[in-house]
Amino acid sequence: MDAVRPRTAVSGPRRRRALIVTGCLTVSADLVLWAVAPGTFRGLPPAYWIMAVLAVIADARPHPLPGRRASRVILPSICFTFAIALAWGFAPALAVQLVAVTVAGVRMRHPVPRTIHLAVQHAAGLGAAALVAGLAGWRIDPRPDLRDAALTCAAAAAWIAARYTVAAVVGRWASERRTRHRRRARADLMATAALLLLAPVLLVAARVSPALLPMALLALHAVHRMVRWAGESEQAARMDPLTGLPNRRALQSTMSERGADRQRALLLLDLDRFRTVNDALGHGAGDRLLARVADRLTAAVPRHDLVVRLGGDEFAVLATRVEGAASARRIAEHLSEALSRPFGLDGTPVELTASIGIALQSGRRDGATLLREAESAMYEAKQRGDQVAVHGPDAPHTAPDRLALLADLRDALRHDPPDDGIVLYYQPQIAIATGEVVGVEALLRWRHPRRGLVGPEELLRVAEPTPVMRLLTARVLDQVVAQLAVWRTERRPLRAAVNVSARDLHAGDVADRVGRLLREYEVPADLLQLEITESALMADPHRVLDTITRLDRMGVAISLDDFGTGYSSLQHLRRLPLTEVKIDRSFVLGMADDRGDAAIVRSVIGLAESLGLRAVAEGVEDELTWRLLAAAGCHTAQGWFHARPMPAAELADWLSRYRPVRPGVLRGPWIPAK
């Protein structure tokens, strides 16, 4: 239990010593006050003693706000001591306040220096309030007027200013984490002001009948509950309920509160093959494993570093004391080593690895940028099969030109078409046996306001390692499904193939978006086909399998793009619910001149035929290649020999002029697209 206590709390023998020392100091201070101003304490009315007792009782339940400083405590006694200062002066109020602070310090297990700090703050506040009241000659009147109200507000303002000036000077309140404390100070200020402005009400009640004063405890209880609820709500909003770690909101808040002279590193961890645990042992076991991972990460980092669960199987570590990329990489390797030890789960040893992306924070770079860079580095590590990758100026995706292009793309996606400049070109896919157009592939273009037309290769190279890729895929799917609806209305039901990235498949919500779009536009699912690459499968095959299985059950065809250029291709063909394989253009372009390429193409076609899949050849640019594919039994082909990619309007014109011709009667190339 000691591990979860605040560092400033004391317990056991230390608590007893603190209680004795604090009590002696309080008694001594009160005796000094009594000796210095004995006349002040003589003849005090019963209302004073009732308020004194109520102040001590009230501070038996102080209101600590989130934070470790003494300034983060609201003492309910201040409404009574403030009233005493207004009515009977500084010394009687200070005597009561010292006792009340002592009781609060004991209840909250404060060490002696922190209790003294708190007492000095409240003494300064009372002194300032008594000074204002004395200068104005303020005394409570049986029938108070606006002047009394104004003087009370002035005295309360002096109390607040004096107390928090002392807190700032003694506790160095403004030295770090200013944004968070500024936000918390607003709640502190509101509660403090409410208590102080209750003081004149207490004095009026005392004039009517001191027996009414204990009723103020009910109001104080309500304030206590309000402050406690506010603290619990803030804590819940910044905490992950499963692991008890801070969440994404807490991380972003902390990253915005950096010291000017420190460099920090953000390490983003994504657990590899975590879905296997859920599939094999159930989601309950997966949740327990995540909690165990959180405990192990917390134990592996120093207490001044922050461990965060971002969601799902993603964690982050904000290292606050690093000297550069090498230092951050050593931390990542230490975390990787900590996770490499098997986790005992229901009697089964579970082994985990993690892909870790590192981004360094220096200067004035905001937390959102840092998180995006760490995610990009993590994704790069996962793609390369490495455990650690560092985002830096030497990485290929971080060149200033590409970062500027990425920022422009993100801004463009905030606009609606056609203002965003995102356009789709469509390349026909021809059935080799009949020569008919059976579908199209949607290819992305972007009309940049300064760079002109940006092609898909550059777009994907910039966007795919970042969250912008999901926004881009969403925009492409919207436009393609809308175009399918138009073609269907025109009685030209073409099938359209759309490329999706590994990031889209890992997120899983691409299946939900596709289903919603198909229902919205009333487009049959068999008119949409999604193309995935082998690299996407290799990054996290279990998570990808879940997504494409959902799409397959909806009736959306799945095509394996760039077949033969990746790894474990035969395993993918055996396990995945595929409809077709696309033979990579690097093999198709050379099959007329290279016997090896031709043999690979024929083998892929035969394998697809035996598995009941369509074989689609891309990159067909001449008649000889077209005839060779026909002889090998390829089902479909696409390439410049038939037509270049073109906008939807030009495609309609091309289709109106196109006449299907089979390879056996071919006489020259097809009608080219303009």
> Could you report the per-residue pLDDT of 179-213, keeping only the tens digit for each?
444 555 666 777 788 888 888 888 888 887 777 77
Q: What is the pLDDT of residue 570?
A: 67
Give residue for tokens 């019963």. Answer: 46
Mean pLDDT of the chain: 78
Q: What is the pLDDT of residue 437?
A: 92
Residue 668, domain member (yes or no): no
Q: What is the pLDDT of residue 672?
A: 40
Residue 81, domain member (yes or no): yes
> In this structure, are 364 and 421 located in the same domain?
no
The conformation of residue 556, written as its DSSP 8-state character, comes to -
**pLDDT band at residue 33 using 50, 70 and 90 as cut-offs:** low
What span, in angstroms and rounded, lies between the C-alpha atoms of 65 and 517? 48
Q: What is the pLDDT of residue 519?
A: 93
Beta-strand runs (E) in 58-141? 63-64, 73-74
Choosing from 237, 262, 279, the residue where a domain stops is: 237
> In this structure, are 580 and 484 located in the same domain?
yes
Judged against a pLDDT cut of 60, whether residue 18 lies above it is answered with no
Reported as a single tens digit per residue, the pLDDT across 109-129 is 777 778 888 888 888 888 888
Give residue for tokens 């193309």. Answer: 531
pTM over 0.95: no
Residue 98, domain member (yes or no): yes
Residue 559, domain member (yes or no): yes
Contact 18, 121 (CB under 8 A): no
Where is pLDDT greater, at 152 or 268? 268
Judged against a pLDDT cut of 90, whether residue 615 lies above it is answered with yes
Q: Phi, psi at residue 164, to the nearest 5°?
A: -80, -15
Contact 647, 423 (CB under 8 A): yes
What span, in angstroms and rounded, lies between the C-alpha atoms of 319 and 584? 44
Cα–Cα distances in angstroms (integers) from residue 156 to residues 87, 135, 300, 538, in the given order: 14, 14, 48, 66
Residue 523, domain member (yes or no): yes
Contact 77, 29 (CB under 8 A): no
Helices 178-196 & 248-255 angle (0-180, nearest 10):
100
Residue 508, domain member (yes or no): yes
3-class secondary structure, 7: coil
Residue 647 tokens, joined: 């906008």
Nearest Cα to Cα of residue 126 among 102, 93, 169: 93
Q: What is the pLDDT of residue 144?
A: 63
3-class secondary structure, 424: strand
> In this structure, are 574 and 536 located in the same domain?
yes
Q: What is the pLDDT of residue 634?
A: 93
> Within a 13 Å sphere around the CA of 651, how many CA atoms are in the beta-carbon half?
24
Reported as a single tens digit per residue, the pLDDT across 343-370 is 887 777 888 888 899 888 765 566 777 8
> Within a 13 Å sphere around the CA of 335, how many CA atoms are in the beta-carbon half?
33
What span, in angstroms and rounded, lies between the C-alpha atoms of 451 and 445? 12
Give mean pLDDT, residues 19-40.
Answer: 61
Strand-pair category, 63-64 with 452-454: unpaired
Judged against a pLDDT cut of 70, whether residue 141 lies above it is answered with no
**pLDDT band at residue 311 using 50, 70 and 90 as cut-offs:** confident
> In this structure, are 199 and 271 located in the same domain?
no
Contact 638, 616 (CB under 8 A): yes
Element (H, E) at 315: strand 314-319
Judged against a pLDDT cut of 90, whether residue 477 lies above it is answered with yes
**pLDDT band at residue 80 using 50, 70 and 90 as cut-offs:** confident
> In this structure, are 547 and 604 located in the same domain?
yes
Q: Phi, psi at residue 656, to the nearest 5°?
A: -70, -25
Residue 20, domain member (yes or no): yes
What span, in angstroms and rounded, lies between the C-alpha atoms of 95 and 49? 11
Judged against a pLDDT cut of 50, whether residue 394 lies above it is answered with no
Q: Phi, psi at residue 324, to the nearest 5°?
A: 150, -170
Q: What is the pLDDT of residue 659?
A: 81
**pLDDT band at residue 71 using 50, 70 and 90 as cut-offs:** very low
Q: What is the pLDDT of residue 647?
A: 92
Domain containing 507 — which CATH number? 3.20.20.450
3-class secondary structure, 422: strand
Cα–Cα distances in angstroms (integers) from residue 273 to residues 152, 219, 313, 437, in the given order: 65, 55, 10, 41
Judged against a pLDDT cut of 90, whether residue 76 lies above it is answered with no
Give Cα 462 to chain centroid, integer Å: 22
Where is pLDDT greater, at 397 or 82? 82
Q: What is the pLDDT of residue 317?
A: 92
Give mean pLDDT, residues 89-104.
Answer: 84
Q: What is the pLDDT of residue 478?
A: 92
Q: What is the pLDDT of residue 467?
A: 74
DSSP 362-388: -TT--HHHHHHHHHHHHHHHHHHT-SE
Beta-strand runs (E) in 362-473? 388-391, 422-431, 437-448, 452-454
Contact 298, 245 (CB under 8 A): yes
Q: What is the pLDDT of residue 320?
A: 82
Interacting residues of 324 by C-beta distance below 8 A, sequence separation 6+: 263, 360
> In this structure, are 470 and 546 located in the same domain?
yes
Judged against a pLDDT cut of 80, whether residue 306 lies above it is answered with yes
Domain containing 388 — which CATH number? 3.30.70.270
Residue 493 tokens, joined: 């039901």
Q: Which residue(s) pair with 424 in the sheet?
A: 444
Contact 489, 399 (CB under 8 A): no
Cα–Cα distances in angstroms (integers) from residue 179 to residues 166, 173, 232, 374, 543, in the given order: 20, 12, 19, 23, 39
Judged against a pLDDT cut of 90, whether residue 264 lies above it is answered with no
> In this structure, are 451 and 357 located in the same domain?
no
Nearest Cα to Cα of residue 560 among 571, 572, 551: 572
> In this structure, are 446 and 530 located in the same domain?
yes
Judged against a pLDDT cut of 60, whether residue 403 lies above it is answered with yes
> In this structure, are 391 and 452 located in the same domain?
no
Judged against a pLDDT cut of 80, whether residue 309 lies above it is answered with yes
Q: What is the pLDDT of residue 315?
A: 93
Nearest Cα to Cα of residue 510 among 541, 531, 486, 534: 531
Judged against a pLDDT cut of 70, whether residue 226 lies above it is answered with no
Strand-pair category, 314-319 with 343-345: unpaired
Q: Find out whether the peptide bond into 456 is cis, omega within 30 degrees of 0.
A: no
3-class secondary structure, 19: helix
Interacting residues of 428 by C-beta distance below 8 A, sequence separation 6+: 437, 439, 440, 638, 642, 643, 651, 654, 655, 658
Q: Which of 266-280, 327-341, 400-414 is predicted with the least confidence, judged by mean pLDDT?
A: 400-414
**Three-state SS string across 146-201, please?**
HHHHHHHHHHHHHHHHHHHHHHHHHCCCCCCCHHHHHHHHHHHHHHHHHHHCCHHH
Give mean pLDDT, residues 290-302.
Answer: 90
Domain, as residue range, for 563: 403-659
Choosing from 398, 416, 435, the residue where a domain stops is: 398
Residue 437, domain member (yes or no): yes
Reported as a single tens digit per residue, the pLDDT across 533-568 is 766 666 556 667 888 888 999 999 998 887 766 554
**pLDDT band at residue 173 using 50, 70 and 90 as cut-offs:** very low
Choosing from 211, 237, 263, the residue where a domain stops is: 237
Judged against a pLDDT cut of 60, whether residue 228 lies above it is answered with yes
Reported as a single tens digit per residue, the pLDDT across 312-324 is 888 999 988 787 7
Total domains present in the chain? 3
Helices (H), 282-366: 283-300, 325-340
What span, in angstroms and rounded, lies between the C-alpha atoms of 501 and 537? 10
Judged against a pLDDT cut of 90, whether residue 140 lies above it is answered with no
> In this structure, are 325 and 427 located in the same domain?
no
What span, in angstroms and rounded, lies between the C-alpha atoms of 432 and 434? 6
**pLDDT band at residue 8 using 50, 70 and 90 as cut-offs:** very low
Give mean pLDDT, residues 221-234.
Answer: 66
> In this structure, are 73 and 102 located in the same domain?
yes
% the chain with pLDDT above 70:
76
> In this structure, are 435 and 535 located in the same domain?
yes
Other C-beta atoms closer than 10 Å to the C-beta of 434 total 11
